[in-house]
Amino acid sequence: MVTKKKFTLSTTQIILLSFLITILIGSGLLALPISSASGEAVPYLDALFTATTSTCVTGLVTLPTVSTWSTFGQIVILLLIQIGGLGIITIMSGLMLLLNRKMGIGDRLLIQDAFNLNTMSGLAKFIKNVLFGTLIIEGIGAILYMLVFVPEFGAKGIWISVFNSVSAFCNAGIDIIAENSLCNYATNPLINIVTSALIILGGLGYIVWWDFLRVVNSRSLKNRKIFRHLTLHSKIAITVTAALVIVGAILIFIFEYGNPLTIGELSLFDKIQVSFFQSVTTRTAGFASVPQENLTNASVAVSIILMLIGGSPVGTAGGIKTVTIAVLICSASATIRNKNSATFFGRRISEESVKKAVAVVVAFITICFVSTILLMSTNNVPAIDAVYETVSATATVGLSRNLTPTLNTFGKLIIIATMYFGRVGPISLAVALGSKSTSQNVISEPTEDISIG
């Protein structure tokens, strides 16, 4: 008797499918007439685009969010953003814990893969901390936003504040304030500070949060030197994030200083805060306080680099990630100096980490390159606008040089696919689609040197 082999999905494939199913359900809801502000159903392709950009926490939109969608539609978008930022696996695990159901080995594997963790110990506590920490930070952000939006919009300002706080923390970049994003609040210190803080906290990653709190709460510390006692991961994430934000802000300040279309007519203080916000929002957030099409070419180049790098692992941000870039730079530096291994803060980086970093970057750049070629071949757009759009989509940023609304059907489909691939992760995609090896080679292939460089 021949037994049929049971078909099972890997944990990574389940994660990919969970995002896809969420997008399809969301697009179905957004395609309903009740989701439209006019009462007439929007074209399904635009509903699919909006569901994808919300679930993938990107922020590129073909239709203005504030004027296109009804309150019901905006609620659907907000739920998709929250699910996309935390991950459907996190939401489902949280519901299991709320119902006092124990997590099995399969559930733990899903969580481990969803957050790219190295261990399965303490996952229940980790999920609880993620959900509780997210709720607290988004709540504080909403309250601070209300100080501006409630006096301006009345009771509606409460909903705007909640929406903006969730969107900023999840690095989604979608708002229901105006069609020009946050351009009307470019010089508002409170909006800039609150939004930047939410973006950075979401982008740093949950591992950094708990590591920082662990060190702060430790009673054995001498002189409270927090940074010294952090893990290597946290040190790299914090250091690279700070360096990128500061250097990016300085470069944008210099390149835009005399540009009358952006910050040229502003006071010195306002020039500084707008430059700082532009540097922060390119870390996969997507809010715009100045029209991106008005930036100088030099600032566009800086923004593209910042978007490519993105945030840190195990957070709400996208991109290649800060830790990945740091590993590659250290590895390249070690090779140039003829050192046996890459080191950072006195710690050796494993060869496995270097290999993963190389794979992530190659996959990420490949997605950007292919998407750019396809977009330019189907839409008559300038190269700089196409690159900006595809990098923004792959890194789930959401900034656009006013190109997204002008895309044709093929262009929209290309960006939809790019946002999805960028969100689920190049490595996760490769693992999910790759065939599993049924046997391992006992004898390895012969080694031969080749010329490099």
Residue-level pLDDT at 7: 60
Tokens 């998709």 map to which residue? Answer: 80
- Tell me the three state secondary structure of residue 116: coil
Which has the closest alpha carbon to 400: 167, 59, 166, 78? Answer: 59
Per-position pLDDT tens, the chain of length 453: 455 555 676 666 777 888 899 999 999 999 999 999 999 999 999 999 999 999 998 999 999 999 999 999 999 999 999 988 877 666 666 666 665 666 655 556 556 555 555 555 666 777 788 888 889 999 999 999 999 999 999 999 999 999 999 999 999 999 999 988 999 999 999 999 999 999 999 888 888 888 888 888 775 655 567 888 888 888 999 999 999 999 999 999 999 999 999 999 999 999 999 999 999 999 888 899 999 999 999 999 999 999 999 988 877 788 888 988 999 989 888 888 888 788 888 888 888 888 888 888 988 999 999 999 999 999 999 999 999 999 999 999 999 999 999 999 999 999 999 999 988 876 565 555 454 444 445 556 676 666 666
CB atoms within 10 A of CB 154: 9
Which has the closest alpha carbon to 389: 402, 377, 378, 379? Answer: 402
Q: Are 242 and 234 in contact (CB under 8 A)?
A: no
Q: Could you give the CA distance from residue 342 to residue 239 in angstroms, rounded to a whole number?
A: 17
Longest dimension (CA), the chain: 82
- Tell me the three state secondary structure of residue 18: helix
Residue-level pLDDT at 182: 93
Q: Of how many residues is the chain composed?
A: 453
Distances 195 to 72, 80, 116, 171 between C-alpha atoms, Å:
24, 20, 27, 10
Residue-level pLDDT at 346: 80
CB atoms within 10 A of CB 179: 13
Strand partners, 347: 344
Q: Are 48 and 23 in contact (CB under 8 A)?
A: yes
Distances 125 to 129, 132, 150, 169, 215 between C-alpha atoms, Å:
6, 10, 36, 21, 18
Residue-level pLDDT at 435: 45
CB-neighbour burial class of residue 52 (10 A; exposed 0-12, middle 13-18, buried 19+): buried
